[in-house]
Amino acid sequence: MAVRLNEDKMIVETVREGLKRTGGYCPCRLERTEENKCICDEFKAQIADPEFEGYCHCMLYYKEI
């Protein structure tokens, strides 16, 4: 299992700019809650799931099996 950045550098740059603008909260989420602080709780749960492979909600990270 490995977690890596998206290979699309434009997506990475855009999401990172959004993270700076929101103080580290997922720029794809409207609510600024601890659950939405990057790396968000949703993706942490997906990382813990041995069957999950794919991108986090904002597509910054990818989990490989």
What is the biggest distance separating any 2 CA atoms in the chain, rounded to whole angstroms? 33
Interatomic CA distance for residues 31 and 10, integer angstroms: 24
List the domain range (segments joined by +) for residue 7: 2-64
Tell me phi and psi for residue 56, to 5 degrees: -70, 175
- Residue 61's pLDDT is 98
In the sheet where 54-55 sits, what is the strand order? 2-5, 61-64, 54-55
Q: CA gyration radius for the chain?
A: 12
As averages over each run of 10 residues, the pLDDT of the chain (65 residues) reads: 97 98 95 97 97 97 97
Domain count within the chain? 1
- Residue 1's pLDDT is 87
